[in-house]
Amino acid sequence: MTTTPGFRPTHVVPGDGMAAWEAPDPARPTVPLDALLPVRLVERLGDWAHISCANGWSAWVDGRYLVAVPQDPPVTGGPPAEVGDPRPLLARATEALTGYRAAVEELAAGALDGEAFRGRTHGLRIGVVVDGESMWLYDPAQGHRLYGDGRRMSTYVTDHAEPGGGPGHAPTRVVATDGDH
């Protein structure tokens, strides 16, 4: 198999494989795609997704079922910055989650309607992932994603782009048909 130079997948095919078409037309099927095949999203047309494979082959698929591949975080130009004690950030995440849970309980009990729920939760952003001793936290005040191992925390990535540091590839294009404006 020949690989296209610079191929960087944006998605993988679902674990059960996926039907594919020569064009965004159900009457033109082609060879189905293998499970977990890395693909790059070239364009979207409604639910259709035009993808390319590492060997240069392309097809149209139902884009709703593609599994996104995480992209590398922006390069910061240096080692991760050490961050202090994670406990205050964990306390803020706990408060935010407690507030969200209370709003969900009130919504479920009928004490809040959908609009009031949206108002109570508007702007709320938290992020905590714990996997054994590893922990990833999101600090919404600073726009930082942090990594910790129980002993120390460091900034993993920020929401703020580095000057001149783009992703290194063109953004995904959304293509409108004559009927879409």
Distance CA 146, CA 157 (A): 7
**Number of independent structural domains in the chain:** 2
Residue 6 covered by a domain: no
Q: Are 35 and 57 in contact (CB under 8 A)?
A: no
What value, to the nearest 5°, has the Cα angle with vertex 52 and ends 51 and 57?
Answer: 125
Residue 142 covered by a domain: yes
Residue 77 covered by a domain: no
Q: Is the dihedral of CA 63, 128, 115, 122 positive or negative?
A: negative
Instruction: Write down the pLDDT at residue 57.
Output: 92
Residue 170 covered by a domain: no
Residue 93 covered by a domain: yes
Q: pLDDT tens, 53-101?
A: 988 899 999 999 998 886 654 445 555 566 678 888 899 999 999 999 9
Instruction: Write down the pLDDT at residue 72.
Output: 55
Which residue, among 168, 173, 166, 170, has the nearest Cα to 63 in the 3D structure? Answer: 173
Instruction: Write down the pLDDT at residue 111.
Output: 96
Q: 49 with 99, same domain?
A: no
Residues spanned by the domain of 28: 11-70
- Reading the chain (181 residues) residue by residue, the pLDDT tens digits are 556 678 888 899 999 999 999 999 999 999 999 999 999 999 999 999 999 998 889 999 999 999 888 665 444 555 556 667 888 889 999 999 999 999 999 999 999 998 999 999 998 888 888 877 888 888 888 888 888 877 778 887 777 655 554 445 455 555 555 555 4
Instruction: Write down the pLDDT at residue 74.
Output: 45
Q: 152 with 96, same domain?
A: yes
Instruction: Write down the pLDDT at residue 73.
Output: 47
Instruction: Write down the pLDDT at residue 161.
Output: 57
Distance CA 43, CA 49 (A): 6
